[in-house]
Amino acid sequence: MKPRIYGIYHANGGLIGKLVYSFRKMFSRKHCFLCDITHGRLWKKDQWVQFVHLSNWPIELIHLNEQIEEMRVFTDDRTPCVILETEEGYRELLDSRALERCESDVSDFIEVLEHSLRFIRLNIKGS
């Protein structure tokens, strides 16, 4: 199995999920820091699309209600987050605080993600 990166939004997918998220963002000031990084007002940011296309890592973005059970258990109360799936299971790469510190900037996200991936690889090799 080739390792795979998943970004887990702190929102449900589908029309109802998007409406609930939009309402929550407008009226309660709660939002998903991963959404802020990957999306502009309506669509995915061009810089995000380009990053995913050029990345050496398979990257998939999914919503809370799109996770398989094992992933849902791992990410429970940790979203939004970015995780790595390997043969050994899941590992958290970026938590909500790390995503927040990116301040909606794709370049900052890429830098932080690459740092986390380097750290993970060193730990795996050193194990």
Domain ranges of the chain: 4-126
> Contacts from 109-114 at CB under 8 Å and sequence distance 24+?
109/37, 110/51, 113/5, 113/82
Please give the model's pTM, rounded to 2 decimal places.
0.84
Q: Which residues of the chain have pLDDT under 70?
A: 13-30, 122-127
pLDDT digits (tens, 9 = 90+) for 52-65: 999 988 999 999 99
pLDDT for position 32 = 87
Report the DSSP beta bridge partners of residue 92: 83
Distance CA 66, CA 71 (A): 10
pLDDT for position 126 = 42
Distance CA 75, CA 17 (A): 18
Radius of gyration of the chain (CA): 15
